[in-house]
Every structure is written in C-alpha cells, then in structure tokens.
Amino acid sequence: MKRDSLSFIAKWERFMAEVKGYVEHIVFRNEENGYTVFNLENEDGELTCVGTFHYIAEGELIEAQGEYTMHNVYGMQLKVSSYEIKAPEDLLSIEKYLGSGAIKGLGASLAGRIVKKFREDTFRIIEEEPERLAEVKGISERKAREIAVQVEEKKDMRQAMIYLQKYGIATTLAAKIYQYYGQKIYRVLEENPYQMADHIQGIGFKTADEIATRIGLHSASDFRIRSGLLYTLQQSMSEGHVYLVKEKLLQRTAQLLEIELCDIEKYIMDLAMEKKVILKEGEDGLRVYTSHFYYMELNTAKMLHDLNLHYDEADIVIERRISQIEKNTGFVLDEMQKRAVMSAMKNGILILTGGPGTGKTTTINAMIHYFQSEGMELLLAAPTGRAAKRMTEATGYEAQTIHRLLEVSGNPEDENAKSGFLRNEENPLETDVIIIDEMSMVDLPLMHALLRAVLPGTRLVLVGDGNQLPSVGPGSVLKDMIQSECFPTVRLTKIFRQAQESDIVVNAHKIQRGEPVVLDNQSRDFFFLKRQDPNVIISVVLTLIQKKMPKYVDAKPYDIQVLTPMRKGLLGVERLNTILQQYMNPPDKKKAEKEYGGRIFRVGDKIMQIKNNYQLEWEIATKYGLVVDKGMGIFNGDMGIITEINSYTETLEVEFDEKRKVKYSYDQLDELEHAYAITIHKSQGSEYPAVVIPLLTGPRQLFHRNLLYTAITRAKKCVTIVGSDVTFQQMIENTNEQNRNTSLDERIREFI
C-alpha cells in the first residue's frame, strides 16, 4: 500500500464523522444484539455502516455519528457510535421509505402513487386520516388500516426501545420486553417492574431490582419483597434444592434485600394464598416450595407409581432364556446380574446400580438380548451426548440423549411454556422398553418430562451409580427412588476379574468404602505425585498433558482432561484455564481472537457450553460444505473446539462432538468457558482416556468422598493426582456431602 493511501486512512481514522442518508440495503443483522451492517446512501455516494441499532429498516433516513475504520476485507466503513432516525424530508425520500419493504404489502409502485396523491402531507394522512389512503387506486379500506397500524407500531416500538435504554436495558432484552408488553411497558415500569422477572426469560430479580432502583421504588415495597422471596427460592434450585425450610428462606431473603426479617414473613402467606408457593409441614420444619416444583415432584411420583407394574412371568422360563443368551453370546452372568435381567422382565420399573467394573454394561447387554428375543422394541438414552455415545459403543445399539429422544422443541426450562418437548402424554414414545444410563445425572425436570412421554405398560430400566455426584439441576431422582424402597433395585457389588486388574476401579471402590489407598506408584494406571506448591503443581500438570501422557494412553493432549474441585483459587478452573491456554494454544498472528468478559477466546481453544440452550442450531457438513444433518440444542457440559472467529459478522464457530458446528453471536459468549480444566461436577457422565487432578486443601463441604470418587471414575486408562496426599486421605474420610432438600421419596410413598 502506498504511503499517501496510508496517510489517507490515518486521516479518516483520526476524526469522528457525521453523516446523513438513507438505509439502502441491510447486509447483515443480528436480531439478538441488534448488530447491523448496512449500506447508507448519502450525497457522497454509498457508505458501509456497522454498529448496534435498536431497530432499523431499509428506506429510513438516519443521521449517524461515528469513526471511519478500515476493515482488512471489506474496506472503508463507518463504525456508528450514535444515531437518530429522522422523518423523511422530501417527496423522493418519503416514497423511498414507504416502498422499501419496511411496510409489509407496500411496494415501490404503490408507494409512488400514495406520494403522488398526498405529496408532503403523506405521513400526516397516514397517521391522522388513514382511511383516505383508500382514495389511491389499489388500496382498499382494510389495506389502508393495515398500513396505518404498521407505521404507528414502528414509531411506538422505536420510542419504547429508546425509553428502555434510559434504564440501562440492552437491545436484546428491550426487544423481548416490548414484544411481551407492547405499549403497556410504561405502566409496567412505573407500577411494578418486578413482574418482568416472572414474564420474561433473561430478566431475573437482580435486573428488575436495578431498574426499580433507577425508577425510585422503595426498598421495602410489597412488590420487591414478594419478588425477592420467589427469587431466593429459585436460586436455591441452582444448589439442587426443590424447597427451602421457612426459616432458611426468610434468612436468605432478608440478606438479599437488606431488610429486617419481620418485614418479610407475612408475604409468604400472601404468596401461598395466590398459589405461587406451596407450604407443607415436614420433619425439618415448614417447607416452602414454588408451586411449579411441588407439583412436578408430585406428578413425577404419580407417574412412577403408574409405571411400577408387575408381570406374571415364570421364573423357570426366564432362567432358561438367560442360559440360552449366555450360550449364544458368551456372557457369563453372576447371580445378581441374572436377578437384574429377571427383575427387568417381571417389573415395569427396575433400578440397576453399581460402581465401575461391577458388570452393569454386560447386564444391560443381556437385557437387550432378552427383550429382543421376545420381539420387544427398545430405546436407549442417557442425559448427555458423551454418555449416549459411550452407551452406543458399549451395547452396539444406538443410544441418544434424553433431550433428543423426547424431541426437544422450544425451551423446556421456561415455566410458562406448555412443554419444551414434542414427546409427551399426547404424543408418547412408542416402544416396549426404555433403558436410561447415567441416571445420577438426571434432574427432576428432565425425569418429569421423560415420564410424561412414557405409557403405562412400557418397561423402564434405570441404570446408574448412586455414589456419583447428584445432578447439576434440582432434585435427587435416583437417590430418592432408591430411598423410597418402592421399586425393585439390584445392586451390583462384585468387581469382575478383568476390572480387578485396574487400580482405577479397585481404588475407586476403596475410596467409596472409606478405606485408605496405597500411594506407592507401583500401578500401571493410578499415580500420585506429591507436590505442595500450586505453581509447581501446574507445571507438573502441563508436562503430563503435553509430553508424558499422550504417548502413554495413546491420545491427543486435548483429550486428556484436567479436573479440579473448585472454580476459584490458585488451582481453580479460572486460573488453570488462563495458564493452560497460554501453553496449549498460545497467541498467534494467524489465529483470530475475541476478548469477552475478561477472557480471550482464540481459534483452536478447547471450550465448554455452560448452560442449556435449546434454540442453538447445529449442522454437520461434509468437507465440501454439503449439510448432511442438522438440529437444535447445545447443552450444559458439551465440549468443542473454536474453529472460526469472524469479526465482521461478530460470530464465533465451535465444532462439538460428532462434527456438529454451531455459530455463536458475540453476545452469546457468556454461554462458553474454556475447558482445558473443568470442575469435577461438570465432568459427570463423561469419560476421558486420562484425567489429571491437581489437589491441595479446600473447603470441607466441597472436598468430600463422592467428589474424589466421581473424578477418578472419569478416567478410562490412567489417573494422575498431583498435590497433597494429606488432602487426598482427608477426602476419603469426609462423608459430609451437602444434603439436598428434596422430597420425591416421600411423595412416592404417599401413592402406595
């Protein structure tokens, strides 16, 4: 590039510019965040403009301020920092706007006839005397009214968006608010902004509270306290609780709102009268449930009761058939495994539980052969994509995620939605048997959704390890079902000979029994490297991932997973990921980057989805770009690699398992985290060739036996723990896992 060209660019870059013109063509628009690329026609010709716009349509006259920038691909552009939509000024402008497509059903020729008839008076006529549009050939009275409504709506929407911006509400949310309330928005904000937290997804109590503070609502207002109570209840669900005891609820709400306890109590009764909450006396005191979760637990219990049928199958016939299956397949089943197969044939529900190496997979395979020999149709599923993939590999039969099995549609987590799944009581699953693996991960809402789609008479086999960590979402379904003692349950405890050769399996069972583990590094698959300094530990972890482990377990460095108990601290996820990224995917001029929320996302980064997003579209394409499969939904715990960052379209592309590619807009990046290191909780249901666990001291309520057990059982070929042997032994001894407030077991027993 010539020097004079460079100085020309520099000159433009140094100055803010103000331009006025018509939106000729919208090249790209992200409806979520309002980011728009469009061509502006002004007196100097055509100009590309980029920026965030609340609402904009082709044909509109705008006055924009911004800075000229040079894009390396798209050339000179105006990066708009502020703008104002102006009323069209001359006849040509009015005609252009009306005929641009901004008003549905109004093309260029019809717009020309309107302007020719009413000239400068056109907009006044549309707004004040819309019936007169019918004087124009080709416009009926009905069409005249439709045009007038659209013009008015666009004006109203624009005004509302600007109004909402005053209270710091982002474009995406402002659009959602306007879509829900329309012109009522002004009254909602003045009277009770807290109702937005009930009606609009994406607005929680804290957002509503901020808006209320800006408006000037009193800190002890009725609306605020009621909303604060419901918010506290909902927040407790992120800890896995289905209810809170009244005293705990009052205490937490008072802390949140920074007001006295005595000001709150009466509102619980008010909410109960309105059926927003349900009060129920329990052994631990007066329980407060949100109505939604109370009835979800109750209905789940009722549906389980209806499925729990007994079938009269002769033991001798089943035993004979099992022997035949053993002969045909080469399976050798012990007494408990045979009992499990028999129980699956004789009962509507069976719970099969056991630790690693106890033969759960063999038992499932024997059941599959039995059911098929009876001509029965089967469906196999698991809570996550990785767990479903493992189930497919272990059985040879296609397994899918529960979400896919139920045909997810919309957002199942939206309480206002009728259903987030296409499969339900009106459109049930047509099968004889459903086998669900990794049941410890299934939370109450997912179990409720599954049962709605299962007809009585369908056999349900639930497989899981009761000693794994509970589900991320609320509830403790597997544990509560076992605890109710209302369903046939078979526990596999014998470790098979092949599994006995693995110290991962042997030590996992020792940990679960509370027995000490020998740390002499004489093992082939279980190592403990004693280190006390956090930085030394991280250095060892890096050496293991990059140099030692890949050859040892025949895997790529990215396939080896670092698991840590905590998010914060010197060995927490956040710090580990920052350091591991620097070494495993260092900065490179050839790799695009995007800074978001204090993190740098880079092409080649290993990342994880951290919340369920049912609306995200994914595609699987050939190397020539031919789409062979597509679908919706990326879920909490799904891992992938960043393959592209596009600063022009403001999108980031991730490739997940099974080559599913997803495009994220920049404002969706809060759904992603780096995954070089992840918490042990996030690893549930996954299996890795090798895991590395950095371990120093931490809070006792977190550093417990089940956490350690879950981490170790994620490894297929090798476990290496780096850190304190004292902490390791203390975790084995610590059984104080945080209890969840659930009552599914009680609800189940009520139906007996």
- What pLDDT is stored for residue 275 in this prediction? 94
Proportion of the chain above pLDDT 70, given as a percent: 92
* Residue 717 φ/ψ, nearest 5 degrees: -115, -30
Where helices occur in 396-476 by DSSP H, the ranges are 402-405, 444-452
In 567-707, which ranges are E strands? 593-596, 599-602, 606-609, 613-621, 627-634, 639-646, 651-656, 661-665, 672-674, 677-679, 688-695
Residue 727 has pLDDT above 90, yes or no: yes
Closest alpha carbon to 349 in 421, 439, 430: 439
Side-chain-facing half-sphere of 478: CA atoms under 13 Å: 26
Residue in this structure with the two tokens 């990326």, named with its chain if needed: 634
Candidate from 171-175, 305-309, 476-480, 651-655 with smallest mean pLDDT: 171-175
pLDDT at 12 over 60: no
According to the model, what pLDDT value does residue 89 have? 65
Q: In sequence order, which ranges of 106-240 are alpha helices (DSSP H)?
A: 108-118, 122-128, 141-165, 171-181, 185-191, 195-199, 205-215, 222-237
pLDDT class of 202 with cuts at 50, 70, 90: low
Which of 166-170, 298-302, 371-375, 735-739 is predicted with the least confidence, judged by mean pLDDT? 166-170
CA distances from 85 to 52, 58, 490 (A): 14, 12, 69
User: What are the counts of helices (DSSP H) followed by strands (DSSP E) for the chain?
Assistant: 28, 28
Per-residue pLDDT averaged across 535-552, rounded? 95
- Residues whose CB is less than 8 angstroms from the CB of residue 302 and which lie 6 or more positions away in sequence, other chains included: 751
From 5-9, 244-248, 358-362, 699-703, the region with the lowest mean pLDDT: 5-9
Amino acid of residue 530: K
Of 145 and 620, more confident: 620
Q: How many CB atoms lie within 10 A of CB 348?
A: 21
pLDDT score at 258:
83
User: What integer pLDDT is reported at residue 209 of this predicted model?
Assistant: 81
Task: Report which listed range, 204-213, 251-260, 266-275, is most confident.
Answer: 266-275
Q: Of 8, 174, 158, 171, which is closest to residue 84 (Cα–Cα)?
A: 158
Q: Rounded to two decimals, what is the model's pTM?
A: 0.75
pLDDT level of residue 429 (50, 70, 90 thresholds): very high
Task: Provide the pLDDT for residue 501.
Answer: 85
Least confident of 90-94, 562-566, 670-674: 90-94
Going through 419-512 in order, the beta strands assigned E by DSSP cover 433-436, 459-464, 489-492
pLDDT at 6: 43
C-alpha dihedral, 468 to 471 to 476 to 481, nearest 10°? -60
Instruction: Please determine, for residue 564, whether its predicted confidence score (pLDDT) is greater than 50.
Output: yes
Whether 7 shows a pLDDT value over 50: the answer reads no
User: Phi, psi at residue 527, to the nearest 5°?
Assistant: -125, 150
Predicted local confidence at residue 513, as pLDDT? 93
Q: What is the pLDDT of residue 5?
A: 44
Range among 205-219, 572-586, 654-668 with highest mean pLDDT value: 572-586
